[in-house]
Structure 1
Amino acid sequence: MQKNPCRSGRTFLFLNGSLFTGNSVLIFAGLLGIFTGWLHLPEFYQASQIVSDLFIRMLKLISLPVIFFSLVSTLSGGGDISTVKKMGSSVLKYTLVTTIIAATIALGLYLLIDPLGLSLSRQTDQFMQETSVNLWTHFDKVIPSSFIEPFQTHNVMSMLFLALLFSFSVICLEPKHRSNLNAFYDSMFAAVMKMTSFVLKLMPLAVWSFVNLFVQDLHGQEVLTELALYLACILVANVIQAGVVLPVFLKSKGFSPWQTARVMWPALTIAFFGKSSVAALPSSVECAEKLGVQSNVARFSLPICTTINMNACAAFILITVLFVAQSSGVAFSTFEMVVWIGIATVAAIGNAGVPMGCYMMSSAFLAAMGVPLQLLVIILPFYALIDMFESAVNVWSDACVTVMVNKELQEELVEEFVEKSGMVANKEATQESL
């Protein structure tokens, strides 16, 4: 279940080379879009519509393959379950629990803050009336009738089901076949990411078109207020997860959250400024060992957590997809919102721990759903700070999970020792009585 360094390294280079070296170009494109949008010329508006439509069509072309191969290449590399029974099950347990909690908190805050001013009571009443009729329909749409159906219909939930089924099947194969298939899926993921890099070369032109359309369609300050509330949802959700939920887990295992954070501070700093949990991995291992975590546990748990334990990413994906989709007129029932907790959890687990990974995953979901991405591009300038904060939260969660896994293993060793000691004592007593 160790992380494939080639996969994360390729993605990291792709993101750095294709996106971050062009920050000045993107900023210029955005400013140009504001200027041309302010001019309100119909020629610019028509050109922007054409460019944005073509860009979205290309994103839809690659969106589902990106999600599918990202998930399968990550999850199918889990290794033989029997060989990592103790550590693997503990890491997976805490990863799932903390990520689900993070997504649940994100949904709760989104509904509470309600950045778009939608009526939750109205949605709830509609849900209560339609649940008995449509509940089976939701599940029926998840299971495709053919392999290519999810890609033809752009059904994200169906594709996630297919990816999970494939991953589980690969893990259950013999090591030889599992290794070959994982290498194949990993290579396919690299090829799709290379295709994505070609599409993203048009990002400056797309930014200009999206911003131009956004400015021309902007009326008053309502959208800016909604955007501020959206950002508040994400930041508050991450603060609660990092400052309340994870410390409660640590306290339950007898650890001081403050002491743990103090020792992990170098790794958290690297993650914050590097915008990558992968970049912080060497420092995370070193800091964890200083906390008293066994070396083999730290070197096993942290690489896995860097791959699959993305608490902040789950919160970002859920809030961003709901916000951008609802801003474009997409309606979600309460049931569908709850389902998105699971989707965001699975997507976060399959997401690579690299800069802008959550943003790319969210854009892939929205593109697959056919949602216009203008608002997502407006979010892009703010994501630089969000990504820094989320990377630090993810590394903090990795550290907490690793510390708890180490504690559980120590407790299991003690129990085994006591049991064996009791067996020896009983055996000696029996021999004496005979």
Structure 2
Amino acid sequence: MNKDSSFNIGMLLALVLGIAGGFLDFPPVTAFATLISKLFVNMLKLISLPMIFLAIVSTLTRMTTLAEARYLLRRILKYTVLTTLIAATVGLAIFLAVKPVGSGGEAPLPMEGNYLSFLTKIIPENPIAPFLENNVLGMAFIGAVLGIAILKLPKEKNALLSNFFGALFEALLKITSALISLMPLGIFAFTIQFVESIREHSEKLEQLLLYGLCVVGANLIQGLIVLPLLLKLKGHPPLKTARAMLPALSMAFFSKSSNATLPLTLECAKNRLGVSDKTARFSLPLCSIINMNGCAAFILITLFFVCSSQGISLTIWQMVPWIFLSSFAAIGNAGVPMGCFFLTSAFLVGMRVPLEMMGMIFPLYALFDMVETALNVWSDSCITAVVDQEVRVTTKQVVG
């Protein structure tokens, strides 16, 4: 507990100093922050892709049977789809409550070619390409296929490969532990850049205040009401869960990448929240790829906002299908910075809606991306905690 308290105090101090440094506007401090944040993010990205691959492979190979893997997968997918659909629905409700009344013709039908092309990358042409192209879905596919294949090998060969990938994963966790100790320095650098970005674009922030309130409000409702309610219904104390995951949530907020935050999320879930190693190593990497609550709300609200600004009015019956479209687009998002922004732009291009308004939204997206990523990691943590509890209850019932 003393170690955790010192770590949290260090992060708070780094945050305060970062805010002061951002308002100071001293070039050497800015240059130092730029260098540190770049190195920090590069290191996180360096270990995050191998982390996802090795976590999936090593976890699958440790499963007793394929039935066990299917059991976990069904529960993870159930809560992922449920929470993402709720996030999009909350986004629609908030938009309808505060959006200006638009006028215009019928909205054009969306063309899904761009998104379908994105989905074809799930199966890569060769096993190296996903790592070179940062294709998270393709890499996860290779890891899952390899893990299942190893699981079907004879016992001796299965044990050999299982131990090999497990040892690689443990080695990567050692690197992660060392990096975590330097996190306050990263928070300091990220905060300076964040404050400077806000200072430079204050006029545009005022112009898009209502839109920003819709996006941030949808994320806050999902994070502070919907997900805690899920935890409460499943017998998990929301505040205890939030305190345990605080370092990961802080890192997600400032790094703007749920994939890059994955090593720290795993560390917090296992050592602070008490999630079993098997569940954490299976659920969190998978959730970091497909569980994007914040992205679903952003896509839906931004689409309607841009359409409204172009004089395109949509009826409620035209809006409702976008709950599902934005949700499944978010599930396919790769969990990297700017991912939701580019997905939304692709949808607007397919709908033949001018993108000028996206240029005005771009400065605000730095803040949105921070809030969304923190929400995504919080949702990953909640789903993992709930699934872990269900696994424990089922195990006790079988043993009993």
CA distances 1:348-368 after superposition (whole Å, capped 9, x unpaired):
000011111111111111122
Stretches of structure 2 lacking an aligned partner (at least 5 in a row)? 1-52, 136-202
TM-score normalised by L of structure 1? 0.56
Query: CA contact under 8 A between 2:114 and 2:350: conserved in structure 1?
Result: no
Query: CA contact under 8 A between 2:115 and 2:346: conserved in structure 1?
Result: no
Letter in 2 for 1:410: R
Aligned to 2:334: 352
Q: 1:117 aligns with which of 101, 105, 112?
A: 101
Aligned to 1:298: 280
Distance 1:280 1:224 in 2: 27
Alignment CA distance shift 1:284-1:324 (3 Å): same
Aligned to 1:249: 230
Letter in 2 for 1:343: L
Distance 2:388 2:375 in 1: 20
Would you say 1:236 and 2:217 are equivalent positions? yes
Stretches of structure 1 lacking an aligned partner (at least 5 in a row)? 1-73, 127-137, 142-153, 171-180, 194-220, 419-434
Distance 1:185 1:380 in 2: 34
Distance 1:379 1:329 in 2: 17
Alignment CA distance shift 1:362-1:239 (3 Å): same
Query: CA contact under 8 A between 1:306 and 1:395: conserved in structure 2?
Result: yes
Q: 2:111 aligns with which of 155, 175, 198?
A: 155
* Rg (Cα) greater in structure: 1
Alignment CA distance shift 1:86-1:331 (3 Å): same
Distance 2:67 2:111 in 1: 34
Q: 2:345 aligns with which of 363, 377, 391?
A: 363
Distance 1:319 1:372 in 2: 16
TM-score normalised by L of structure 2? 0.61
Would you say 1:92 and 2:98 are equivalent positions? no
Query: CA contact under 8 A between 1:272 and 1:392: conserved in structure 2?
Result: yes
Letter in 2 for 1:236: G
Alignment CA distance shift 1:185-1:238 (3 Å): farther
Alignment CA distance shift 1:192-1:332 (3 Å): farther
TM-superposed CA distance for 1:254, in Å, is 1.1
Query: CA contact under 8 A between 2:102 and 2:311: conserved in structure 1?
Result: no
Aligned to 2:262: 281
| 1:178-327 correspondence to structure 2 within 5 Å | 181-183=123-125, 187=129, 227-289=208-270, 290-327=272-309
Letter in 1 for 2:291: N
Distance 2:220 2:309 in 1: 25
TM-superposed CA distance for 1:251, in Å, is 0.6
SS in 2 for 1:353: coil
SS in 1 for 2:328: helix
Query: CA contact under 8 A between 2:293 and 2:376: conserved in structure 1?
Result: yes
TM-superposed CA distance for 1:256, in Å, is 1.0
SS in 2 for 1:254: coil
SS in 2 for 1:250: helix
Alignment CA distance shift 1:254-1:339 (3 Å): same
Distance 2:282 2:257 in 1: 19
Query: CA contact under 8 A between 1:81 and 1:88: conserved in structure 2?
Result: no
SS in 2 for 1:94: helix
SS in 2 for 1:279: helix
TM-superposed CA distance for 1:331, in Å, is 2.9
| 1:398-417 correspondence to structure 2 within 5 Å | 398-417=380-399
TM-superposed CA distance for 1:228, in Å, is 1.4
Aligned to 1:144: none
Distance 1:159 1:313 in 2: 17
SS in 2 for 1:280: helix
Distance 2:262 2:371 in 1: 16
- Aligned pair count? 273
Q: 1:102 aligns with which of 87, 92, 96?
A: 87
Distance 2:83 2:346 in 1: 24
Distance 1:305 1:401 in 2: 8
CA distances 1:186-222 after superposition (whole Å, capped 9, x unpaired):
95997799xxxxxxxxxxxxxxxxxxxxxxxxxxx9x
SS in 1 for 2:352: coil
Distance 1:227 1:329 in 2: 17
Letter in 2 for 1:398: D
| 1:120-159 correspondence to structure 2 within 5 Å | 155-156=111-112
Aligned to 1:394: 376
Percent identity, aligned pairs only, is 44
Distance 1:303 1:262 in 2: 21
Distance 1:81 1:232 in 2: 45
Alignment CA distance shift 1:230-1:186 (3 Å): farther
SS in 2 for 1:379: helix
Distance 2:311 2:131 in 1: 32
CA distances 1:171-198 after superposition (whole Å, capped 9, x unpaired):
xxxxxxxxxx4456995997799xxxxx
Aligned to 2:356: 374
Alignment CA distance shift 1:332-1:189 (3 Å): farther
Distance 1:292 1:261 in 2: 13
